[in-house]
Amino acid sequence: MKKIWNNTLDEGLIHLQLENGINLYYYPKKGFTKKYAIFSTSFGSNHTSFIDNSNGKIIKLPNGTAHFLEHKLFEDPDRNIFERFAKYGADVNAYTNFDQTSYLFSTSDNFYDSLSLLVEFVQNPYLTDENIEKEKGIIGQEIQMYRDNPRWRVYFNCLSAMYHNHPVKDDIAGTIDSISEIFKEDLLLAYNRFYHPSNMVLFVVGDLELDRIAEAVNKASRGFPADTVIPVKYYPEEPSIVRKNFIEDYMSTSKPLFYIGYKDTDPGKSGKASVKKDIVTNMLLDVLLSESSEFYQDVYSQGLIDSSFGAYYSGKSDYGQSMIVGQSDDPKRVYQLVIELMSNKMSLLSEDAFLRVKKKEMGRFLMGLNSVEFIANNLTDLYFQGFYLMDYLDLLSETTFEDLLERFERHFSSGESVLSVIWPEGMVK
C-alpha cells in the first residue's frame, strides 16, 4: 500500500497493487454521498495499429474498433449489464477517446456490489456474431448524430487537415463503412491484447472503506496470464508540417463556425514534462486569447467573435495541437488577426498577465476538486501520461514566466496552422 498525499489539500490517493494484477487507487472524499469508480484501459481510437508480438508485423484493425468494443462489453449471456447496474441504483456509462476506453458508474447506494459488477463485466466479454451485427445499427445512428453536429465536424475537419497520417485525424467511432468491417475476431484480438490488468487502472472516489473496495475487486476479478506482453502501439511517421492550411464544408448551421489549429511540432514528451507542457501552453493561450486579453476584447468589440470564442491545447506524447475556436461572420479575418498576434514576437506577453492566469488556474483546479467526476476522470487521464493529479498544484506553482516565453517561441514560431470552417448552407461567401 502506498499513500500519495497532498498536504495543502489534505486529500490524496491510496494505491493498492492487487494480486490479480489490478492497479487500484482510492481517493477518499469524506462527506460525499456520491461514489464513483472508473476502470480504464490505455486503448483508444488512436491505437488500432500495433506491432504483433509474435512476428513483429503491423496489425491494423478497422477504425472505430476501440469504441465498438466499448459498446459490446455491455453484453452478457444472462442479463443486460445496464439492467444489473440499474438494479443496484447505479448509473453506468462508458466512453472512448483517442487514448483510452473507460467504464464507469456512480451511485449513492450498493457501491461495493456495483464495483464488483464493473470489474466483472469489463473482464468477461461476451461476443457473438449476432450481437455484433445488431450493434452496427446503434453505432450507425451514433455516427449519424455526430455527422449532424457542426461543432464536431469543424473539429475533425481541422484535425484531418492538420495530420497526414496520425490516427488522431480519424473519427473516434469510425465511419459507417469502417464499422461494417468489424467482426468478432477483431474485437477479440483488441480485447486480448489491451484489456490485460497491466494495461489498465481502476480509480475509486468517494466516502468509502479501503478494505471493502479491495475485497469487492478481488471477488470479481478473474486471472490473466502474468507473462502477457502488451503490444507496442504503432504510429505512422507524421511530418511536422500540416497537410493543408484550409478546409471547408457546408452544413445547416446559423453562422460560420471555425477552428484554428496550431500543430505541436514538439511532441515526444511524457510524464511530468508532458503535463507541464500542457499547463504552460494552456496558460499561454489564456494570456493571449482569453476574455482578459486585449485581443479578445478588441475583436469582440469589432463584432467578429462572440462569447463562444475560446482556445485550448490538448496533446499526449505522440500528438498535440492548440485549437482556437468560435463562430464568426468572417472567420478568415479572425484567422488573419490570430496569425498577426502570433507573429508579434511576445510583445503581448507580460509577467503580470502570467501571474494572474496562474492564480486563475489554481482556483479553477480547486473548484474542480468539488466534483468526484472531475477528480476520477482527470486522475485517469493524467495517470496514463505518467502523472498523479495530486502533484498538479505543485507543478502549477513551479511554472515560470520564462517557461511561457520559451513555449511561445517553440509552439507558435513554426506557423504550422490550419483554418477549418463550416459555412451555413447556401451562404455566399
Partner 1 sequence: MNAGRSGKVELKSNRIALSDGIFLNIVETDKFKSNLLTVNFIRPLDKAEVTMNALLPMVLERGSKSFPTKLLMERKLEELYGASLDLGSSKRGERQLIKASIEWADSKFTSDKKSGKEAINLLKGVLFDPVIIDGSFDDRYVEQEKRILISRIRSRINDKRNYAISRCIEEMCKGERFGIYSLGYEEDVEGIDGKRLYEQYRNILMTSPIEIFFVGNLHGLELDQLIPAELYNRRDILLIPREVIPENNLSKRNVEEAMSVSQGKLVLGFRSSIPYEHEHYNGLLVGNELLGGGPNSHMFKTVREEKSLAYYASSRLIKHKSIILADAGILFSNYKQALDLILDQVARLKSGDFSDEDLQIAKKSIENSSRSIVDSNQMISEFFLGKVISNDERSLEDMLSELGKTDRNKVIIAMDTVTLDTIYFLNGKEGETDEENLE
Q: What residues are annotated to the active site? A: 70
In angstroms, give the least distance from the CB of 9 to partner 1.
Answer: 7
DSSP state of 343: T
Comparison of 10 and 227: residue with beta carbon closer to partner 1: 10
Q: Is 255 in the site for partner 1 (CB under 8 A)?
A: yes
Tell which one of 225, 364, 428, 429 touches partner 1 (CB under 8 A): 364
Contacting partner 1 within 292-311 (CB under 8 A):
292, 294, 297, 300-301, 303, 306-307
**Strands of the sheet with 257-263, listed across from one edge:** 246-251, 417-424, 257-263, 319-327, 310-316
Sheet holding 232-233, edge to edge: 58-60, 49-51, 232-233
- In angstroms, give the least distance from the CB of 94 to partner 1: 11
Torsions phi, psi for 230 (to 5 deg):
-75, 130
Judged by CB under 8 A, does residue 128 bind partner 1?
Answer: no
Separation of alpha carbons 397 and 392, rounded Å: 9
Q: Footprint of partner 1 on residues 324-363 (CB under 8 A)?
A: 327, 356-357, 359-363
Angle, helices 372-384/351-368, rounded to nearest 10 degrees: 120
397 binds partner 1 (CB under 8 A): no
Identity of residue 215: E
Q: Is 374 one of the binding residues for partner 1 (CB under 8 A)?
A: no
Q: In the window 177-196, what residues touch partner 1 (CB under 8 A)? A: 177
| Helical axes 65-72 vs 184-194, angle rounded to 10° | 90
Site for partner 1 in 64-123 (CB under 8 A): 80, 82-83, 85-87, 89-92, 106-110
Q: To the nearest whole angstrom, how small is the minimum distance from the Cβ of residue 53 to partner 1?
A: 35
Length of the chain: 429
Pick from 58, 145, 346, 427 the residue near partner 1 by CB under 8 A: 145
**CB under 8 A: which stretch of 13-21, 48-56, 186-194, 368-376 binds partner 1?**
368-376
Nearest distance from C-beta of residue 281 to partner 1, angstroms = 18
Contact present, 100 and 201 (Cβ < 8 Å):
no
Judged by CB under 8 A, the residue of 5, 53, 128, 148 near partner 1 is 148
Contact 340, 417 (CB under 8 A): no
In degrees and rounded to multiples of 5, residue 48 shows phi and psi of: -80, -10
Contacting partner 1 within 6-45 (CB under 8 A): 8-9, 31-34
371 binds partner 1 (CB under 8 A): yes
Element at 376 (helix H, strand E):
helix 372-384
d(CA 295, CA 257): 19
In the 8-state DSSP scheme, what is residue 250? E
200 vs 214, beta carbon nearer partner 1: 214
For residues 47 to 66, the per-residue mask of contacts with partner 1, x marking binding by CB under 8 A and - elsewhere, is: --------------------
Q: Which of 291, 340, 398, 406 binds partner 1 (CB under 8 A)?
A: 291
> Residue from 4, 14, 59, 251 that binds partner 1 (CB under 8 A)?
251
Yes or no: say if 412 and 265 are a contact pair by the CB < 8 Å rule.
no
